[in-house]
Amino acid sequence: MALVEPIPGEPAALADTGGPAGSGETALVVADYHAGIERSLRREGVEVQSRGPQRREHLLRLVDQTGADRVVFLGDLGHAIGTPEDPEAEELADLFDALPVPMTLVRGNHDGGLAEEFDVPVTPPGGTRIGDVGFAHGHTWPSREVLAADTVCVGHEHVSVRLEDDVGGARVERAWLRGPLDAAPFSEYYGEEVETNADLVVFPAFNDLSGGTWVNVDGQGFLAPFLPEACPDAEIYLMDGTRLGRFSSV
């Protein structure tokens, strides 16, 4: 399989992270879990019951189905910017207790307080590389170590597309972006030549309440500081695998 293979119909992918001595370790990768988001929505006047147990069971089912050796949370595992409070803290504790495999948290912009509150392995903001796969959240520039990987995974964008039919109906669906990285923006940022031949994979949000960037709608700017310039030829894929073409022309 490819180094990073989206799971059909799911906001998750299976990554071949290699492991020691060619052990074939695989990781289930999800982005933007946003535990406890319902509390924030209620503060904004949106009445919604906690879906924490459903999120947890969804993730555990994917771990079981894929036989993954590890779970990589691609940033924003929590929702609070600061230290998580109940019910978010309770949801996170229950999730950590239930996970049957090791986990890696790629630090996102919502994970600062979480990293200090829970004893979980957390990467630097620029991400980390496991085998030939690089992982970064996307709220800041990926490290050069990450860019040297064959495939780079990021989240943060909550990628979505707005689809219209012939009679004026419209719907929004979560989606993937995928394409070759252009080294030029990274060389400019780092002030020296950066080489990368990586394939970039931008994940949809695991949490379906978190909204998203409508990447095919004019005026919807990207959130990552390196997009879209660093991947101008990125193509959109729906979660069922349907290829829509280049984001700039959909």
Mean pLDDT of 203-231: 83
DSSP string across the chain: --SEEEPTTSS-EEEEEE-GGG--EEEEEEB---BTHHHHHHHTT------HHHHHHHHHHHHHHHT-SEEEE-S-SB--SSS--TTHHHHHHHHHHH-SS-EEE---TT-HHHHHHS---B--TT-EEETTEEE--SSSPPPHHHHTSSEEEE-SS-EEEEEE-TTS-EEEEEEEEEEEPPSHHHHHHHTS-----PEEEEPPBS-TTS--EETTSTT---SSTTTTTT-TT-EEEETT--EEEETTT-
Looking at residue 79, its pLDDT comes to: 67
pTM of the model as a whole: 0.90
Q: Which domains does the chain have, with CATH numbers?
A: 4-246 (3.60.21)
Q: How confident is the model at residue 167 (pLDDT cuts 50, 70, 90)?
A: low
Q: What is the tens place of the pLDDT at every residue in 39-77?
A: 655 555 555 666 778 999 999 999 999 999 999 999 888
pLDDT digits (tens, 9 = 90+) for 116-145: 778 788 899 999 999 999 999 999 999 999
Percent of the chain with pLDDT over 90: 56
pLDDT digits (tens, 9 = 90+) for 9-49: 999 999 999 854 445 789 999 999 988 776 655 555 555 66
